[in-house]
Amino acid sequence: MAILSKIRERSMFLIVIIGLALFAFVASPKDILDFFNSSKVNAVGSVNGETISRRDFAVQVEAYKSNAKSSVSDMQAVTAVWKRILSEKIYKKQLDEAGIVIGEKDVWDAVIEIPSIKNAPLFQNELGLFDEEKLKEYLANLKENAAEQSDAAWLNWLETEKSVKSNLEKQAYTQLVKLGLGASLAAGEQSYLEAQTKMSGSFVLVPYSSVADSLVPVSSAEVADYLQAHSDEFSEEASRDINYVKFDIKASQEDEADLKNELTYLSASFKATANAANFLADNDADLPLDTKYVFKSNLPTVVEDAVFNAAEGTIVGPYKFQNHYRLSKVVDFINMPDSVSASHILVTYAGSRAADASVTRTEAAAKKLADSILSVVAKKSNQFSKLAKSYSADKSNASKGGDLGWFAYGQMVPEFRDFTFLNKKGKMGVVQTVFGYHVIKITGQKNIQKAVQLATYGRKIEASETTENAIFEDAETLAYELSSGKNISDLSKENNYLLRTLSGIKAMEEDVAVLGKNRSIVRWAFDKETAVNASKRFDLEKGYAVVVLTNKTDKGLVAPSKAAAKVKPILIKEKKAALLASQMNQESLAALAEVFKTSVRSFSNVTMSAPTISGVGIEPAVVGAIYAVPTNTTLKNIVGEKGVFAISVANKELPVSLPSYEASKNVLTRAYQNKANGQMYKALESFSEIVDERSNLY
């Protein structure tokens, strides 16, 4: 008994020890170290030295997902919240340094201007006007009840306040920056002159294509030097490359044959049954019973002739269609139109889908009113239009006398559809649907043809347990052979597997090409313990993937081999420009044209606002040079988009002087401010110290 007492006293201690032992059994040494590393457990990252708490981050992610409902994935929510937090902290730092404070009153004044709040009936008085006190009372109750009920509503409100404050802070900082950006009247005048001055003259163009690429070779060292000189343009995130073989769990030919045989066995009892719905339920059908009438053109091609040549009660199948094996029992044949026109008068009642809050009529009263209307129009059909305008709740067509126009068989709810398609033109009656009671008049029918009603039993074509086990064995065998040092390319050829390659996987990606959403693959590929050529089998939603890590690319400058395709054309162009410029030794355009075997061409009415040279294309650098030089001046060695230019400026037609350049100044100011709007946050982010640990936690 003493031993039992001691055990009871230390029961919690034992539970902890057992739990840690189990954890150690299933976890890797790295997982255990991470578990006890408080910095990894508690932080998701930092901005300018300020830690982003893992707990707070997780709460915000859950709130974001709750508001977005099912429209976002976990990683989309993580990314959105991360960007929001970065933005808040980066702007907050700037505001603190600028001494700008957004107070509670500023936030409240912005909150009560939010349309969804200002226009909410809950916060309006008897006159239908927004009542600030009602909102305050609602929030007080929300806060008071938060501890007793779910905190979701109160947390959502706190997130709303936080979002409003964040937006106000951004607006304040942006406005502060914009106020510091502007243009002078002199700058406005200069901008006006540059945009409106028309320039004319002559030019010689020596195209880059006149120099063979072989004359200007580019070495790998030159590509590397260019990358170093333009590191801002050629930096990249860390990424991983993988090879993989995907094993899909899908039915084998044997599985399909077994399923087909099973349906063949059931066909006799399906034919004998009087209740198709019960048969489908008793035999685990994977398709719901559909009793609609269908035309031949709407049937699967594989059985359309067999069905329309069969007698009522005949079983057609088994046949394969849309990943199911099916048996179709011919229930009935009729002749019906493929489209109908009708008019209706809709009478709603409290609780029907089309009824608004003002409708208090009971279902029985609605039926009585509909029957009364029918009795009137049955005697005087010309009264239908008038009564529709007076009584129909369907305002979309009440003004047209209830006319619905022409509609196809599948457009209306079943009860309405069956009445209009299974009765003849001119028939009137009352039909109840989820919208209420309809007084219906069939006004037209087109293309009457043979249609069939089927009862179809279907079973999905799925892999059997034997097949699933065989697929798992194949994946496990490949994973084992890779762990023994064999090559995935050789093994794929031996076993006739499709080997795929995926390059450039980023640390926070969620979708892994055809492997679908699979963060486990991404996290494994980025794990420091995963070496190049390491392999692992992963579970997929419907199968397995055996993955080999083929390359690791660290964050930083793009490798010369990867950037060569983009950089080499730039360097070739630069070398050609230098070569052509060194050969432009002649003084006149005519002499240059003769040496380079081309012609002297003219340009006219070229402006800086439209820097296009006729017959050449857009050449902003060349047009800028034309504007900069005096008239009657020849300028050589201008590097353009299409080649190297020599120009002679003959004339510059200045625009009419304006009494004021205020408008031009304002245009320039707005341009500066718009540019700041688009680039300001990116600049602030680039100067911030950001540590992102999300990929280690999600």
Query: Could you report the per-residue pLDDT of 512-544, keeping only the tens digit for each?
Result: 989 999 999 999 999 999 999 999 999 999 999
Task: Collect all residues with Cβ–Cβ distance below 8 Å to 326 and sequence separation of at least 6.
Answer: 263, 287, 317, 318, 319, 320, 456, 457, 458, 459
Residues 355 and 401 in one domain: yes
Same domain, 242 and 259: no
CA distances from 574 to 57, 536, 617, 620, 647 (A): 49, 47, 19, 17, 20
Contact 652, 631 (CB under 8 A): yes
Contact yes or no for 667/218 (Cβ under 8 A): no
DSSP string, 224-264: HHHHHHTTTTSEE--EEEEEEEEEE----HHHHHHHHHHHH
Exposed, middle or buried by CB within 10 Å (0-12, 13-18, 19+), for 594? middle
Q: What is the pTM of this model?
A: 0.69
Residues 246 and 292 in one domain: no
- Do 350 and 441 belong together in one domain? yes
Q: Is 593 exposed, middle or buried (0-12, 13-18, 19+ CB in 10 A)?
A: buried
Q: Where are the alpha helices (DSSP H) in 404-559?
A: 414-422, 465-483, 488-495, 519-526
User: Exposure string (b/e) for 430-443, b if CB count within 10 Å is 16 or more?
Assistant: bbbbebbbbbbbbb
Which residues are paired to 101 by β-bridges? none
Q: Does one domain contain both 620 and 569?
A: yes
R_g of the chain computed on alpha carbons = 38
Closest by CA to 649, choosing from 320, 213, 197, is 197
Q: Are 394 and 493 within one domain?
A: no
Q: In the prediction, which pLDDT does 426 show? A: 93
Could you tell me if residue 514 is inside a domain?
yes
Residue 681: which H helix or E strand, with range? helix 662-686
Percent of the chain with pLDDT over 90: 62
The last residue of a domain, from among 554, 572, 607: 554
Mean pLDDT of the chain: 88
pLDDT at 367: 96
Indicate whether 329 and 344 sit together in one domain.
no
Q: Is the backbone peptide bond immediately before 318 cis, with ω within 30 degrees of 0?
A: yes
Look at residue 113 in the predicted model and tell me its pLDDT: 85
Domain assignment present for residue 220? The answer is no
Of the listed ranges 22-36, 46-60, 350-364, 654-668, the one predicted with least confidence: 22-36
pLDDT at 369 over 90: yes
Q: Domain of 648? A: 198-212+564-653
Of 639, 635, 539, nearest to 581 (Cα)? Answer: 639
Q: What is the mean pLDDT of residues 226-243?
A: 92
Q: Indicate if 371 and 441 belong to the same structural domain.
A: yes
Establish if 167 belongs to a structural domain. Answer: no
* Final residue of a structural domain among 499, 533, 554: 554
Cα torsion 25, 30, 31, 37 to 10°: value is 130
677 within domain boundaries: no
User: What's the pLDDT score for residue 283?
Assistant: 95
pLDDT bucket at 11, cuts 50 / 70 / 90? very low
* Same domain assignment for residues 344 and 331: no
CB 648 within 8 A of CB 198: no
Confidence of residue 20 (pLDDT cuts 50, 70, 90): very low
492 lies in a domain? Answer: yes
| 568 and 543 part of one domain | no
Alpha helical stretches, state H, 27-114: 29-36, 38-42, 54-68, 74-98, 104-111
| CB neighbour list of residue 460: distance below 8 Å, 6 or more residues apart | 286, 323, 324
pLDDT for position 437: 96
CATH code at 541? 3.10.50
β-bridge pairing 50-53 and 43-47: antiparallel
CA atoms within 13 A on the CB side of 334: 15
Residue 675 lies in a domain: no
Which CATH number characterizes residue 377's domain? 3.10.50.40
Residues 363 and 315 in one domain: no
Same domain (yes/no): 363, 378 = yes
Cβ neighbours of residue 95 closer than 8 Å, sequence gap 6 or more: 101, 102, 169, 172, 173
pLDDT in the model for residue 685: 86
pLDDT on residue 641: 93
For β-strands 315-321 and 293-295, DSSP reports them as unpaired
Give me the number of domains the chain comprises: 4
Helix (H), strand (E), coil (C) string for 584-613? CCCCCHHHHHHHCCCCCEEEEEECCCCCEE
Do residues 324 and 461 lie in contact, with contact meaning Cβ atoms separated by under 8 Å? yes
Q: Does 315 reside within a domain? A: yes
Residue 346 resides in a domain: yes
Q: Is 695 helix (H, G, I), strand (E, B) or coil?
A: helix
The pLDDT of residue 147: 62
Write down which residue in 614, 637, 653 finishes a domain. 653
Phi, psi of 389 (to 5 degrees): -65, -30
For the stretch 28-85, pLDDT in tens is 444 444 444 444 458 899 999 999 999 988 888 888 887 777 778 888 889 989 998 9
Whether the Cβ atoms of residue 617 and residue 642 lie closer than 8 Å to each other: yes
